[in-house]
Amino acid sequence: MTCPVTAAVDDRHQEARVHPSGDFCAQFEGLTGNTPFPWQQALFAELIENRIPRACDIPTGLGKTAVMAIWLVARAHRAPLPRRLVYVVDRRAVVDQATDVANGLRACVDRDAKLKQA
C-alpha cells in the first residue's frame, strides 16, 4: 500500500468524525486524509488490546506522526489507554510537524462531542 503522509490535518479533514462503532481505516483517513499503512493498522490493533509499544521505530516518511491520530481513534473505540500520549522526537522540524498535526486533531476533537469523551 502506498500513500503520501500529510504534514498536518488540513481544513477539509478537520470536519472528520470518529465514532466507536466505525471502521478504523475510514476514521484514520477522515482524520489524516490518507489510508493507513499496514504498520499503522497493526498499531491500532495493539492499542485496542492495551498493548502500548515503548517506541515506534519506523523509517522516515512512513507516517510516524499519524500515531497521534491512531491513538485518538483507539480511544474513541474505548481502548483502555491513558489519556495522554508522550511523543518524543529529536529534531525541531519533526516537533513543528507534530505540533501542526496535534493542533489539527484538537480541532477535530473540539467539533465532535464523542471525541471529547475519548
Domains in the chain: boundaries: 11-117
C-alpha cell at 20: 466507536
Provide mean pLDDT across the span 57-80.
90
Taking only the tens place, the pLDDT of each residue in 76-88 is 888 989 888 887 8
CA 49 to chain centroid: 16
Q: With a cut of 80, say whether residue 75 has pLDDT above it.
A: yes
Would the pLDDT of 1 be above 50?
A: no
Residue of 114, 102, 106, 111 whose CA lies nearest to 15: 111
How do residues 96-115 score in pLDDT, each as one tens digit? 888 888 888 888 878 776 66
Residues 59-68 have a mean pLDDT of: 89
pLDDT tens for 8-58 read 333 434 444 455 446 899 889 888 889 999 999 999 999 999 899 988 888
Q: With bands split at pLDDT 50, 70 and 90, how would you rate the model's confidence at 118? A: low
d(CA 94, CA 44): 22
